[in-house]
């Protein structure tokens, strides 16, 4: 097997995390190249870079949701503006996510993620001391840069440098993403109470973003990329039904997640719960995702996506019904079920690698599904704020959650079947500078 970071890190065997392993050429079986010490070191540095970056992909979102009520009071923010604030992440992810593959090809993952994390740190600090709601929204866009770029770039990096460890690496970064999401949601309000200033409670999340830059500065792609496949470019994605269904799945699960992250504390406070307790419930939702994120990618590869998807989707109906009726003493249970249901996210991340045969396919599928999916998702939180501002009732928002769940389930039934984006496209596939004309995927 050609030397890559994946083999430098783990010699457990080729293609153990793919649904159908590709045959290994005979010459590679008889004379496997030995990874150099530099390749091993850079492989682990890349792992550290991916994991630490993923920790920050949602902190800019959930840190705001945890103290949204106090933030609105401090900035004089209306319900509609608050809905726009919860929609900003998906708008940023859609816009920058569409550009991420092109930026990655031009500048490389190292420069791309280093720059995104630096911009995120600046945005975190600047928005914390914004004097009004308009500037807070503007600087929040900067704070969301790392998540917007990382959402698309990281699956492509995993497919390129860890083609035989897709499940394992997806577990690593999706779990760390869930940890960062949970920590920011659970600790921002206590930090606020401890220091007595919500601005400081938001600004502290610039520190882990700055720390995450370190391994990307130290990583040397040239020492690790000798055998890595080029990312390249796959054209004609809009002709793939799989790509459109992945877009719908990603859009619906993102809309549900961002409605919950943006409005859970407000809903619970309106139902009579103390702000600190409501923040803890949001923290519970995200904490549940941590162990689930560990096992979902691995089980998706081992069992196949279908049983994992059906188990996670079964958690949504009781969670929506329970919280809609009034929560009460069982609020913790409904939030835990929501945490399980929203763990469809790491399953989708895994499918970006499993539903493509090449890094170019993963890049195209990830970019198309996420950029378009986040545009769908952006309607959710904004609609919740707008409808609640008009009616003062949570019935319509809960009805929206139920409808999104139904659409997610129907589209998910398509993408969990074994199929590949390259196989659905026209015979001409352009990969990098090489054009192949075949009936199957470009090799």
Q: How far apart are CA 176 and CA 55, in angstroms?
A: 5
Is the pLDDT at 195 greater than 80? The verdict is yes
Asked, for residue 49, whether it belongs to a domain, the answer is yes
Q: Assign 20 a pLDDT band (cuts: 50, 70, 90).
A: very low
Q: Let me know if residue 31 belongs to a domain.
A: no
In a domain, 20, yes or no: no
pLDDT at 113 over 70: yes
Considering the domain boundaries, does residue 28 fall inside one?
no
Side-chain half-sphere of 238: how many Cα atoms within 13 Å? 2
| CATH code assigned at 428 | 1.20.1250.20
Q: What is the pLDDT of residue 409?
A: 97
- Whole-number Cα distances in Å, 392 to 27, 84, 267, 275, 397: 69, 17, 11, 19, 11
Residue 442 belongs to a domain: no
Q: 239-249 pLDDT, tens per residue?
A: 889 999 999 99
**Mean pLDDT (the chain, rounded):** 79
CA distances in angstroms from 144 to 186, 376, 419, listed in the order given: 19, 18, 33
pLDDT greater than 50 at residue 3: no
Q: Give residues with Cβ within 8 angstroms of 399, minimum separation 6.
A: none
Tokens read off for 170: 């997806």
**How many domains, the chain?**
1
Reply yes or no on whether the pLDDT at 423 is more than 50: yes
Angle between helix axes 305-313 and 331-341 (nearest 10 degrees) is 150
pLDDT tens digit sequence for 288-345: 888 888 899 889 988 999 999 999 999 999 999 988 887 678 888 999 999 999 999 8
Asked if residue 63 lies in contact with residue 72, where contact means CB atoms within 8 angstroms, the answer is no
Query: Rounded distance, CA 198 to CA 190, Å?
Result: 10
Task: Evaluate whether 257 touches 342 at the Cβ level (below 8 Å).
Answer: yes
- Domain of 340? 5-9+36-437
Task: Reply yes or no on whether the pLDDT at 27 is more than 50.
Answer: no
pLDDT digits (tens, 9 = 90+) for 348-399: 988 988 888 887 788 788 888 888 888 888 788 778 878 887 887 788 888 8
pLDDT digits (tens, 9 = 90+) for 266-275: 888 888 888 7
- pLDDT value of residue 211: 95
């Amino acid at each position: 097997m050609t030397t890559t970071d994946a083999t430098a890190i783990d010699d457990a065997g080729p293609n153990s995390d793919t649904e159908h392993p590709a045959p290994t050429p005979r010459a590679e079986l008889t004379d496997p190249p030995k990874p150099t010490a530099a390749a091993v070191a850079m492989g682990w540095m890349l792992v550290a870079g991916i994991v630490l970056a993923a920790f920050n992909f949602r902190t800019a979102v959930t840190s705001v949701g945890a103290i949204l009520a106090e933030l609105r009071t401090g900035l004089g923010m209306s319900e509609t503006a608050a809905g726009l604030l919860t929609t900003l992440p998906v708008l940023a992810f859609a816009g920058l996510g569409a550009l991420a593959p092109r930026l990655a090809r031009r500048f490389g993952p190292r420069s791309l993620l280093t720059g995104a994390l630096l911009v995120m740190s600046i945005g975190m600090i600047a928005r914390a001391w914004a004097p009004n709601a308009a500037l807070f929204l503007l600087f929040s866009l900067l704070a969301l840069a790392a998540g917007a770029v990382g959402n698309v770039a990281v699956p492509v990096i995993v497919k390129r440098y860890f083609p035989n460890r897709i499940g394992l690496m997806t577990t690593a970064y999706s779990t760390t993403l869930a940890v960062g999401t949970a920590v920011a949601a659970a600790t921002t309000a206590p930090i606020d109470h401890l220091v007595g200033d919500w601005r400081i409670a938001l600004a502290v999340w610039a520190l882990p973003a700055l720390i995450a830059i370190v391994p990307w500065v130290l990583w040397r792609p040239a020492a690790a990329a000798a055998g890595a496949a080029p990312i390249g470019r796959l054209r004609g994605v809009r002709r793939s039904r799989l790509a459109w269904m992945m877009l719908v799945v990603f859009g619906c699960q993102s809309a549900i997640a961002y409605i919950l992250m943006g409005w859970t504390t407000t809903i619970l406070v309106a139902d009579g719960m103390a702000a600190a307790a409501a923040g803890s419930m949001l923290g519970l939702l995200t904490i549940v995702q941590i162990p689930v994120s560990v096992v979902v990618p691995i089980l998706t590869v081992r069992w196949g996506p279908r049983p994992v998807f059906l188990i996670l989707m079964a958690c949504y109906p009781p969670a929506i019904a329970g919280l809609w009726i009034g929560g009460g003493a069982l609020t913790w249970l409904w939030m835990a079920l929501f945490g399980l249901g929203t763990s469809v996210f790491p399953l989708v991340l895994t499918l970006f690698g499993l539903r493509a045969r090449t890094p170019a396919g993963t890049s195209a599928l990830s970019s198309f599904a996420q950029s378009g999916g986040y545009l769908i998702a952006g309607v959710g939180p904004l609609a919740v704020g707008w409808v609640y501002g008009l009616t003062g009732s949570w019935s319509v928002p809960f009805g929206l959650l139920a409808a999104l769940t139904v659409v997610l389930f129907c589209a998910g039934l398509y993408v969990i079947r074994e199929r590949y984006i390259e196989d659905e496209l026209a015979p001409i596939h352009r990969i990098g500078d090489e054009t192949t004309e075949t009936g199957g995927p470009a090799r």
